[in-house]
Structure 1
């Protein structure tokens, strides 16, 4: 029997914490977690962004980070990268402190795009992920052949063969996103962190990129953690959800976390989760609806 999702109070009220199975795969000691977040808290400018966050992510899992604007979803990714210090708690990435295993972590930040003034081809952008930190010009020989082979592999992996040799500024948003995902995968990372990669894409491209990320996660055994503006394009692929809210955090399978009971407890007010005839999820009953989110600039 599956337990209810874990609700970690974020207001110091001392409300009970219900047990959690953290999803449909073994976690904790039963499986090697490539990311382990334990009772983590972040404080920015004297303001507690979130605390009491607990989540473990295993190889091949696809986990979404959801929540209203300004709740610190992107901050969680930065903490995993070692770019944001914790106020308390701990994070382990591949058994080490965050930042010590960056070569094994691929990262795609928010709102990366190229306009027509960028005179680089898609393959050039991918190449930067392979040797962008090297000094000087690449020399011919075995290393150059290996680099070309890896670029070809990445182009095939993201299905970008039709346009990878075109100028990246001429590509559509979905095509650019595939190129950037390929760049993030250049060094065969074991973890892929994606910060709203579906933002500004039309619905067909959202669906296509969501399917691509899921396929990469499964076929390459890459752990994916994605911050999402709208859960619907990725809902069918998710193993678990980390929902950050004003009353704490909830971790568990999507159908349990994104439920009326779970979100009502998190927000401290009645929340209703509805399913449309085409299977999309809509949340009503709070001012900043999380699914889909009202996207704004903020401390996320």
Structure 2
């Protein structure tokens, strides 16, 4: 795959200054000041209802800010959507299961599934290129109803990639997938980032499968969004306070890390903290990392 845009935007992927969002009289979150560096793979984490999908929709210009300013790929939200690929959580439920994989991917170029819209040879070539990159070119003629959940998710990613985005957003892309399909999806995201420097954002509940590829996270804590590099987020004090249940960050003798609510005392190196320490951690000091992607561990 080669990016069609010969003049990609410069600077950070996302910049937020004191942003807030309300739904009616209810403030979803506020006082969000952070920068997501270009070329990073970023998780968006928080409890149910914390506003993770809301943040993505705000970046797309679908939900207005009630306060503050946001820049996405150097412009106001919504202005650079042609450079953004988006995979919603409900993709596999909303898409017409009678469409073929190729027809579904082409929607990323035609922008609609309704009515008759002639497709050019160039568009078909782009769709094939995206499917080949994802590894589903041989499934082009199959209907979505004939594909497994993992393959349908790969069709959704191919549809988001067909426009050669600079920023790829995925809302719970690993939900309801078996372990093999999750691993394949993560490998695809790692390849996109490594080969094209693509900025990627992933709404996720379980970080474990994503840990090898993440560079940082936006975490929605106490009604405020923050960004930090991954090593700052992988702190059991922060994660315990974030999720409202005791969480451990475990490192195995081989150096692999896992985030878990229940591990034995003898498993790996434990990083546990009492309730008093968690309360003192409310004002997390390492949450304003603004360094560029260069030199960050993948």
Q: 1:114 to 1:82 in 2, by over 3 A?
A: closer
* Cα distance, 1:247 vs structure 2: 5.7
Computed over aligned residues only, the root mean square deviation of the Cα atoms, in angstroms, reads 2.7
Residues in 1 aligned to 2:39 and 2:95: alpha-carbon distance in whole angstroms? 36
Counterpart of 1:108 in structure 2 is 87
Q: Deviations over 1:56-76 (max 9, x none)?
A: 233321000001111100000
Partner of 1:176: 152
Q: What is aligned with 1:197? A: 173
The whole-number CA distance in structure 2 between the counterparts of 1:51 and 1:181 is: 31
Partner residue in 1 for 2:259: 281
- Which residue in 1 is equivalent to 2:292? none
1:59 lines up with 2:42 in the alignment: no
> Is contact 1:65-1:243 (8 Å) kept?
yes
Deviation at 1:41, TM superposition (A): 1.1
Please report the TM-score for the alignment, with normalisation by the length of structure 2: 0.76
Q: Equivalent residue for 1:6?
A: none
SS class of match (1:219): helix
CA deviation map 1:166-201 (0-9, x unaligned): 111110111001111110112111111111111111
How many matched pairs?
Answer: 251
Checking the alignment, whether the CA contact within 8 Å between 1:36 and 1:92 is kept in structure 2 is: yes
Distance 1:249 1:163, change over 3 A: same
After superposition, the C-alpha distances for 1:258-289 in whole angstroms (9 at most, x for unaligned) are 2023346668x895423275742114789xxx
| Alpha-carbon contact 1:129-1:184 (below 8 Å) kept | yes
- Indicate the residue corresponding to 1:83 in structure 2: 62
Q: Is the 8 A contact 1:191 1:224 kept in 2?
A: yes
Q: Single out whichever of 56-65 and 67-76 deviates more from structure 2.
A: 56-65
What is the aligned counterpart of 1:240 among 191, 196, 216? 216
Could you tell me how far apart the structure 1 residues matched to 2:199 and 2:95 are?
33
How big is the shift at 1:90?
Answer: 1.0
For the 8 Å contact 1:59–1:190, the answer to whether it is kept is: no
Cα distance, 1:156–1:223 mapped onto 2, change above 3 Å: same
Structure-2 change in CA distance of 1:160 and 1:111 (3 Å): same
Distance in structure 1 (CA, Å) of the matches to 2:136 and 2:184: 12
CA distance in structure 2 between the partners assigned to 1:115 and 1:77 by the alignment: 18
TM-score by length of 1: 0.75
Q: Which residue of 1 aligns with 2:188?
A: 212
User: CA–CA distance in 2 between the matches of 1:128 and 1:266?
Assistant: 37
Deviation per CA, 1:91-115, whole angstroms, max 9, x where unpaired?
Answer: 1112211111111111111122169
Runs (5+) with no aligned partner, structure 1: 1-30, 287-300
Alignment pair present for 1:32 and 2:43:
no
SS at match of 2:192: helix
Give the distance between the partners of 1:145 and 1:259, measured in 2 at CA. 51
Report the Cα distance in structure 1 between the residues aligned to 2:249 and 2:72, rounded to whole angstroms.
36
Hey, what's the Cα distance between the residues in 2 that align with 1:213 and 1:55? 23
Greater RCO, CA 8 A, separation 6+: 1
